[in-house]
Structure 1
Amino acid sequence: MRLDIVITGVGGQGNVLASRILAKAAMEWGLPVRTSEAIGMAQREGVVMSQVRMGEGAYGALIPDGSADILLGFELAETIRGLAKLKTGGVVIANRQTIFPVSVSLGLSQYEPEQMISYLENTAAQYHLLDATALAGEAGTYKCTNIVMLGALASLGILPYDEEHLKQVMLDVIPPKLRDINLRAFALGRQALGGE
């Protein structure tokens, strides 16, 4: 089995940590893994795209356009930008959060969340939209938005390893003092997409 996952968002959302957790879980499950990260110029709020390829037959770290099985979008506009990576019939899990670029603040461009959601609805065959940032806040800190997104992904049952394995790897990676908050975040992400 091979699974290609693209994670897109902006700096500071935990994109890279999420990709490392997914990759580590795959490696510990005995799967070959390749990863790639493209990080924007700014550490905070610059574009970040991570790519995780797990399973046999992935000969490079970059996922070709139109080939990703899953797109995890941590920010709405970056989700739309990442759709080019998704294969026909691929799954999108998108966070409703919007982070306005500087050009919008300066009045040089527009950012229309409702139009983006409409575009997503009309473009992606399988999509799930949730307010992962609000759920992260409910768990204890918005900084665990990435873990909410991983919980949502785990609830779909499409990863090549089971949810408990992913959760254990997450706990191994996260500092002990943050484990309870992240466990709550993971559970809230699962529940948001109908998981128990």
Structure 2
Amino acid sequence: MQETLGLLGKLAEALERSADPFSQENARLAALPREVLPLHNPTPRHALAPGVWLDYQPEAGVETRVGAAEGIEAGVRFQVESIGSSKWYSFSYEIPAEALRSKRYLGQILRCSSEGPARFRLCLRYALPEGIRDVFARQVCVLTGFEKSGASNENVVQDELVFVPIDANLAAQAQGAEVLLFFEGRSFDVTLHAIEAMVV
């Protein structure tokens, strides 16, 4: 038993160290639910906070609302009534490219919920001298939405741990980097309660 606790303690310490390169970014993301303003159909590539964006294709008929989530657990809520003809709808934030060098994986600890089923995929974007290059996680995050509890429905909050492999060549060339969540579906209602970046 003592040995197991010792291993868990070492694992917790390792996870804390792996988040150190992104301490500023993680602090900014943690503050976002308190700072985000209510929005209705903002201009694409809208800055929710410095270095944090909501984006979709311009003039594509997207109907969306964004704001602080109401309820017990804080978060940022993304309500999409229609994706229109947009080829993407994403939440993203910048990270320092130098933090990726000599590392193997970029990890994201995500705490989220949804009103009904929803899906999104994690992407690491490298800003290179010749343009951008996107690398996607193999895993698609699937949110289940409500679950039946007696006579009422309860919102299910899910914790996800997702990794994207880091390309050493791209990381060496990158002048900047960005983490993106690409949401899927014609309509959805997702709340991001917490996001934390780490490297392994």
TM-score interval, smaller chain: under 0.3
Structure of larger gyration radius = 2
Give TM-score, length-normalised by structure 2: 0.27
Q: Point out the structure with the larger strand share.
A: 2
- Between 1 and 2, higher relative CO (CA 8 Å, sep ≥ 6) is seen in 2
More helix by share: 1
